[in-house]
């Protein structure tokens, strides 16, 4: 129950010693609840009332596109034909949306605006505020109502407010932003005023034998004097806040209802029946719900999908839970949320590892390609070097036989390129022997017949050598 204790403390700060736009009776009921909580009285089903106002619309196992559209419209408070958005301004009105406020059945200004934003994004043409509330917090009420109105005007969406029982204080503030306010005949409207409930527990503590002494820095830190009473300065400051908020409230209503501020002030926070509310200018029309259906809403078949317009037998039922059941549900939800967050984190970590590994793999592929290219280049260089060495060796052998400047060396190299080293060595040796024989013959004849001795070309000599080699083979 720690969460509800925290929620109670937050609610107390919102309720006590601060201006409220709420009926005095409603404020007293909330205050009594907080007093009970402070005295150890546990929450019961009277206060723990979780409202599920989502229309009952279930998708089939194989929904069509039309089914999905209907479902999305239903869960977002939009009529079946997609033209009209519906929002409940009911119960106690508060600034923020949280679990505690939701469980208490409160309606937040924050939630109203976010729901309307969603409806606008889905293409509605008008919006209906179903109002049945005695008001609530002053905090953010003016700001959020103005933002709501601005969003509607910016998208050319008219606002219609239907008072289904009560539109008082902050609820009437929200009703006033509508282009038209229509009220059920037995409704009550008004209470354009501000109230602050001051709570001083000094006497209670004194009766219990508890003495308080505040040690402060700054004279305005606590609102009490030494006797435990509220200081005159504190009372004055509260009155100034009330007056400021009251003037703001009256001007807000006058602007939105096209009235004179003096006429609004003259109501003195009175709550009017529909007849007097019409005379004052607080509402525009009085209609039964059926009449309102006929004049302002889509066909009745479309209206049945909406929570506040459903028949009693088809209306979503409130789910009453005791404190233990509610806490168990909250615990289960927290566990599920934590598990989801852990899985999300693990998935993110795995994705990050995958991305890193993928990046490393790409780098390795590049490096492998570079190594392969380097290896191929190295092998090519090795082959070239071996070829160059082979040519150099063969050139040296031919030049040794034919002479260094013999122009036929290159020709011989080309013609013997395909031969193995062993075959080339045989030819080179043959050329060397022939060269020596020719030189010997030339010497024996004293130089005569030189031309006849050398008349055979090297090609012919090679042919002869090759022929001899084949015969020996």
Secondary structure (DSSP) of 300-365 = HHHHTTSGGGS-TTTSPPPEE--HHHHHHHHHHHHHHHHHHHHHHHHHHHHHHHHHHHHHHHHHHH
Q: Which of 27, 5, 4, 7 is nearest to 17 (CA)?
A: 27
224 burial via Cβ count (<10 Å: 0-12, 13-18, 19+): middle
Whether the pLDDT of residue 454 is over 60: the answer is no
Average pLDDT over residues 197-209: 74
Helices 421-444 and 458-472: crossing angle, nearest 10°? 120
Mean pLDDT of 211-228: 74
What pLDDT score does 85 carry? 94
Structure confidence at residue 389 (pLDDT): 85
Question: Can you tell me the mean pLDDT for 21-41?
Answer: 57
Gap between the Cα atoms of 182 and 161, Å rounded: 6
Q: Which residue has the higher pLDDT, 36 or 93?
A: 93
- What integer pLDDT is reported at residue 423 of this predicted model? 80
Query: How high is the pLDDT of residue 291?
Result: 92
Q: Is the pLDDT of residue 467 over 90?
A: no
DSSP letter, residue 184: -
Give domain limits for the chain: 2-321, 399-472
Q: Two tokens at 295?
A: 């004049």
Sole residue written with tokens 């546990």: 42
pLDDT tens-digit series, residues 356-371: 888 888 888 888 888 8
137 Cβ contact list (under 8 Å, min separation 6): 14, 20, 21, 22, 93, 94, 95, 109, 170
Highest mean pLDDT among 43-47, 350-354, 406-410, 438-442: 350-354
For the ranges 12-21, 173-182, 412-421, the maximum mean pLDDT occurs at 173-182
Please tell me the least confidently modeled range out of 101-115, 258-272, 297-311. Answer: 297-311
In this prediction, residue 318 carries a pLDDT of 36
pLDDT bucket at 395, cuts 50 / 70 / 90: confident
pLDDT of residue 6: 45
- State the DSSP string of 404-442: TT-THHHHHHHHTTTS-HHHHHHHHHHHHHHHHHHHHHH
- Determine the pLDDT at residue 71: 83
Confidence of residue 219 (pLDDT cuts 50, 70, 90): confident
Collapsing DSSP to helix, strand or coil, 137 comes out as strand
Least confident stretch, 139-148, 212-221, 255-264, 389-398: 212-221
Mean pLDDT for the stretch of residues 71-78? 88
Q: What pLDDT digit, counting tens, does each position of 96-108 carry?
A: 865 554 456 689 9
Whether the per-residue pLDDT at 67 is higher than 90: the answer is no
DSSP 78: B
Question: What average pLDDT does this structure show over 164-191?
Answer: 96
Decide which of 176 and 6 is more confident.
176
Say yes or no to pLDDT of 344 above 90: no
**What does pLDDT average to over the chain?**
76
Q: Which is higher by pLDDT, 350 or 52?
A: 350
Highest averaged pLDDT of the listed ranges 85-99, 179-193, 203-217: 179-193
Question: Domain spanning 2-321 has what CATH number?
Answer: 3.90.226.10
- Residue 64: its pLDDT value, please? 77
For residue 431 the two structure tokens come to 């050329």
Query: Which pLDDT belongs to residue 3?
Result: 45
pLDDT at residue 270 above 50?
A: yes
Is the separation of the CB atoms in 193 and 166 below 8 Å? no
Which pLDDT value is given to residue 153?
97
Distance separating alpha carbons of residues 217 and 230, to the nearest angstrom: 18
pLDDT of residue 60: 60
- CB distance 240 to 248 below 8 Å: no
Which range, of 96-110, 147-161, 217-231, 371-385, averages the lowest pLDDT?
96-110
The pLDDT of residue 216: 72
- Work out the pLDDT band at 300, boundaries 50, 70, 90: very low
């Amino acid at each position: 129950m720690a969460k509800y204790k925290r929620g109670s403390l937050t609610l107390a700060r919102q309720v006590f010693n601060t201006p409220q736009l709420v009926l005095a009776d409603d404020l007293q009921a909330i205050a009594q609840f907080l007093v009970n909580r402070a005295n150890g009285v546990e929450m019961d089903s009277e206060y723990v009332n979780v409202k599920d106002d989502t229309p009952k619309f279930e998708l089939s196992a194989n929904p069509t596109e039309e089914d999905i559209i209907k479902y999305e419209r239903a869960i977002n408070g939009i009529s079946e034909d997609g033209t009209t958005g519906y929002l409940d301004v009911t119960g106690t009105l508060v600034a923020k949306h949280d679990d505690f406020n939701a469980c208490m059945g409160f309606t937040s200004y924050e939630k109203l605006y976010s729901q309307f934003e969603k409806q606008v994004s889905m293409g509605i043409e008008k919006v209906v505020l179903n109002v049945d509330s005695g008001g609530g917090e002053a905090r953010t009420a003016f700001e959020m109502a103005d933002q709501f109105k601005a969003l509607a005007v910016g998208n050319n969406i008219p606002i219609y407010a239907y008072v289904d029982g009560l539109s008082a204080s902050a609820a009437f503030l929200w009703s006033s932003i509508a282009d038209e306010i229509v009220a059920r005949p037995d409704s009550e409207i008004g209470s354009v005023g501000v109230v602050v409930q001051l709570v001083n527990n000094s006497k209670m503590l004194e009766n219990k034998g508890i003495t308080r002494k505040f040690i402060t820095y700054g004279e305005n830190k606590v609102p009490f004097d030494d006797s435990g009473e509220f200081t005159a300065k504190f009372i004055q400051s509260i009155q100034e806040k009330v007056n400021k908020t009251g003037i703001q409230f009256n001007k807000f209503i006058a602007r939105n209802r096209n009235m004179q501020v003096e006429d609004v002030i003259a109501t003195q926070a009175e709550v009017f029946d529909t007849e007097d509310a019409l005379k004052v200018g607080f509402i525009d029309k009085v209609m039964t719900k059926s009449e309102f259906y006929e004049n302002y809403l889509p066909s009745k078949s479309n209206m049945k999908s909406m929570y506040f317009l459903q028949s009693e037998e088809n209306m979503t039922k409130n789910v009453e839970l005791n404190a233990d059941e509610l806490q168990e549900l909250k615990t289960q939800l927290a566990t599920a949320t934590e598990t989801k967050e852990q899985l999300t984190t693990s998935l993110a970590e795995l994705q990050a590892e995958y991305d890193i590994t993928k990046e490393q793999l790409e780098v390795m592929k590049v490096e492998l390609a570079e190594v392969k290219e380097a290896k191929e280049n190295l092998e090519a260089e090795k082959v070239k070097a071996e070829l160059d060495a082979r040519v150099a060796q063969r050139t040296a052998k031919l030049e040794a036989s034919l002479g260094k400047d013999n122009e036929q060396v290159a020709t011989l190299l080309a013609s013997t390129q395909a031969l193995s080293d062993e075959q080339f060595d045989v030819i080179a040796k043959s050329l060397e022997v022939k060269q020596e024989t020719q030189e010997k013959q030339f010497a024996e004849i004293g130089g005569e017949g030189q031309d006849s001795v050398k008349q055979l070309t090297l090609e012919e000599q090679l042919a002869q050598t090759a022929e001899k080699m084949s015969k020996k083979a």
